[in-house]
Chains A and B, each alone.
Chain A
Amino acid sequence: MSRVSETGFSGLLDLPLNRLVDKARDEGGRIIGYTCSYVPEPLISVDGLVPIRMRAPGVSGTPLADTYMSSVICSYTRSILEFALDGFYNELDGWVFTASCDHLRRLYDNLSYLENPPFNYMIDLPHKISEPAISWFHEELKLLAGALSADFGVDTGPDALRNAIAKLNSFNAILREIGEMRKEDTPPISGRDFHEIVAACASSPKYLLKDKICKYHESLKRNDGTDDYRARLMLVGSQLDDPEYISVIESVGGLVVADRCCLGSFPGLAHIECGTDPLRSLAEHYLAKTSCPRMMEEFDSRIENIIGIAREYRVDGIIIETMKFCDCWGVDSGLLVSALRDRNIPVLRLEREYSLSGEGQIRTRVQAFIESMGK
């Protein structure tokens, strides 16, 4: 299979804010940056708001961020702070954070103090999915909705939200269908390319990409796919927004056919059920479906979810990639590894930094992993 990108989406990943973001701004859109999958995208998509998942492509060191956050903090948050201090996000109209982890909480604090963005909002995030927790999160979303209305004069009423949810659902349905093509014996798309598309969509105003995605989807239907791989792999981990990481994995014969990453097909592309109170529906959906190890009662359902996907996509083995200094994924991966081994699912754990490095080591490990499966 060709490892060179043929998706036509790669140009959207070179810059922290790409040309489509500029276009949306020119058309009067207000750009809201966010950093975590728990931020309910439809709420920051209403009435001309444009959500953009923050990335720091090509970051080549974080000297300034290190002086504020030290070097024992996850390199994703440090990279975002570095780029913010470098002025790469000056065009943003606002930021929305969730209190997901220690690192993001402190990113918010640093950003508030050092950059004082015109709109910088933190919503709390419960650690469990009980009824009271959903109500609590719902209250948080109400407060955010109020703040968005007050600051941007946008309509966050039920109809506007219903509309935003429907749009996101219809967009994600296409991405999901593309992702599901990877169940085939000869998938028409590599893991690298799929990841590139998902990352490009998260980094761009979706309404400007819809046609392109539809066309790409159609083109894949005409593609015979490839059987040139040694093992079908699933990738499990947190914030990954660099397709080249998967490229390195695939360069030794692994084909990534499924994933559970913050920017991947699971759980980010799931359909949002919209009930009578759309804000409440968002609280339910995002709390229950995001599936981060930070949730305290969900280990069993998370592992069953991962195993379910692994079976559905007929994977030979699972690679868990964790960002260095992330306690949530770091400790969880130890539990995951033993739980998967107990079920005789081959598993490899890789620790990484936000930006790609040590490709040689990754290749050796992945190759040995594939060999150890007898592939």
Chain B
Amino acid sequence: MTAYFGGCDVGSTTGKSVILKDGEIVADAIIKSRIDPEETARLVMADAVSKTGGIDRVEDIAYLVGTGYGRNEVPFANENISEITCHSVGAHFCDRKIRTIIDIGGQDVKAISVRDDGSVLEFAMNDKCAAGTGKFFEAMSRTFDMSIEDFSRLPLKANRLVPVTAQCSVFAETEVVSLISRKKPPADIAAGIHAAVAKRCYTLARRVGVRPKVTMTGGCAKNAGLMQALEKVLHSEVTRLDYDPQLVGALGAAVLAMRKCDR
């Protein structure tokens, strides 16, 4: 029987799972995180397993790797591996030429420099600050009273860029409220916010060295405004992966699970 390999990425805002068979992705799932990371893992794995058409139970997976902040809590996992390694391997699996990854998750931002074989050469993470993370964008979209999807597209309509200087999410919120009250166009303010976040990501990426190809992973990689702002500060193209960037960590975990059994 052909073996199935799983990766389960339990993040702060979402749980993700990917299942591989014969080196191909056969199922994946994303759910909102529950309070209990173990429950998130169980539900998101069950969801993916049900889509495989080949297995019925998580226990049928030959090797399962847990990752993300709840990586210790994944039931039936054979091993846990840090999300930094998993994002590196996952992005490299999608595109062998990826050498730099900017991963923006719910609670943190990471820059990863990737070796030719997909392993981590070096990484940098933001320090205990929410600015530029998924949580930050959620808070900002609330300030604008719109959905996060609408907010992420807002900068695309900007005519100019209103500078947002505050580097901390709490101060940024205050600053944005004051800009809105001064009747600055929302699209221009949004462009300013995205530019500021992109700048932070770029600074972080420079700490590990920016080598092409560069890609973005994590939930915020779906943010079109941010992607555009990042390309502007990088002065180069950011590669869009063929696969959902939010699932790249779980994919990397599944790839590592598969390699465990290849050896």
Contacts and interface: CB of A to CB of B under 8 A. Distances in A.
Q: Do the two shown chains form a genuine complex with each other?
A: yes
Interface of A: 324, 351, 357-358, 360-361, 364-365, 367-368, 371-372, 374
Contacts of B125: 361, 364-365
A360 B73 CA distance: 13
B40 to A, nearest CB: 15
Given A324-B127, A364-B69, 14 more contacts: A351-B127, A357-B128, A358-B128, A365-B84, A365-B123, A367-B82, A368-B85, A371-B81, A371-B82, A371-B84, A371-B119, A372-B84, A372-B123, A374-B119
Interface string B118-135: 011111010110000000
Q: How large is the interface on B (under 10, 10 to 19, 20 to 34, 35 or more residues)?
A: 10 to 19
Contacts of B82: 364-365, 367-368, 371
Nearest to B112: A368
B28 interface: no
B83 A371 contact: no
Max chain B Cβ within 10 angstroms of own Cβ: one of A357, A358, A368: A368
B152 to A, nearest CB: 26
Closest 10 CB pairs of A and B: A368-B84, A368-B82, A372-B120, A367-B82, A371-B85, A364-B82, A351-B127, A358-B128, A360-B69, A368-B85
B188 interface: no
15 contacts: A324-B127, A358-B128, A361-B125, A361-B128, A364-B83, A364-B84, A365-B123, A367-B82, A368-B120, A371-B81, A371-B85, A371-B119, A371-B120, A372-B85, A372-B119
Interface string B65-99: 00001000000000001111100000000000000
A365 B127 CA distance: 11
B66 to A, nearest CB: 12
Contacts of A358: 128
Nearest to B89: A371
A207 to B, nearest CB: 42
B9 interface: no
Contacts of B121: 372
A363 to B, nearest CB: 8
Most buried by A among B69, B82, B84, B120: B82
Contacts of A364: 69, 82-84, 125
A324 B129 CA distance: 13
A374 B128 CA distance: 27
Nearest to B72: A363
Contacts of A365: 82, 84, 123, 125
Nearest to B68: A364
**Considering residues B81, B108, B119, B128, which has the most beta carbons from chain A within 10 angstroms of its beta carbon?**
B128
Nearest to A324: B127
B4 to A, nearest CB: 23
A351 B123 CA distance: 14
A269 to B, nearest CB: 31
A371 B82 CA distance: 8
B123 A368 contact: yes
Nearest to B120: A372
A371 B123 CA distance: 12
A375 to B, nearest CB: 11
A65 to B, nearest CB: 20
Nearest to A370: B82
B89 to A, nearest CB: 10
Nearest to B70: A360
Contacts of A372: 84-85, 119-123
Contacts of A367: 81-82
A372 B85 CA distance: 7
A352 to B, nearest CB: 9
Interface in B102-123: 108, 119-123
The CB with the most chain A CB atoms within 10 A, among B81, B83, B84, is that of B84
A358 B69 CA distance: 12
A371 to B, nearest CB: 4
A372 B89 CA distance: 11
A360 B119 CA distance: 22
